[in-house]
Structure 1
């Protein structure tokens, strides 16, 4: 399921719920519906920046490699490109930019409404 984050000061940001959940848990928000007020945006951006930095210190585990290899394909799959891991920092960057914009322009971020 997709979550669309909306703010008057930044283009919409769409994320899969499973990826957004990590950010929303960090901010103590529910994925179904919510708001990050302009007053909360500065602290939320700071928390997300810290989480991104922490995630960069720890490389992906072997678990990711195991997930990729868990479903070996037929011989036809040999021509497909190798699956690439998308890091948390890459996934979180649009949301971080939205939080910074909300902080700077004093706008709220809404989802699920």
Structure 2
């Protein structure tokens, strides 16, 4: 399932719900549908930037390791798959963070699921 973030301050951003979930849970927002109002933007930006900094401090999480191990056997054989290249939280959050900054600058809301 996909989620599309919309704001009059920036271009739409579409991402998988499972990837958007972590961002939205940081903000205590519903994954299905919601809005970040202009007064909420500074705190939202701060929370996401803090999570990005934390993810950079610990680049390989247990969750990523579990994912890699689920697709490869204990000998490290590839099973005819390409070598996994995990996408960091910082990389996934970057477009949304940029949208939040633009929305804050223009005092516009950010919505999804509508």
TM class by shorter chain equals 0.7 to 0.9
RMSD across aligned C-alpha pairs, in angstroms?
2.1
Q: Give the SS at the match of 1:28.
A: coil
Normalising by the residue count of structure 1, what TM-score does the alignment of the two structures yield?
Answer: 0.87
Question: Which residue does 2:12 correspond to in 1?
Answer: 12
Question: Which residue does 1:40 correspond to in 2?
Answer: 40
* Equivalence map 1:46-57=2 (5 Å): 46-57=46-57
Q: Give the SS at the match of 1:70.
A: helix
How far residue 38 of structure 1 moved from its aligned partner, in angstroms, is 1.2
How far residue 43 of structure 1 moved from its aligned partner, in angstroms, is 1.2
Deviations 1:3-40 (A, max 9, x none): 00000010011111111111111111001110001111
Q: Which runs of structure 1 show a deviation greater than 4 angstroms over 4 or more consecutive aligned residues?
A: none
Number of positions where the alignment pairs a residue of Structure 1 with one of Structure 2: 111
Given that residues 38 and 109 in structure 2 are in contact (C-alpha distance below 8 angstroms), is that contact kept between their aligned partners in structure 1? Answer: yes
Unaligned runs of 5+ in 1: none
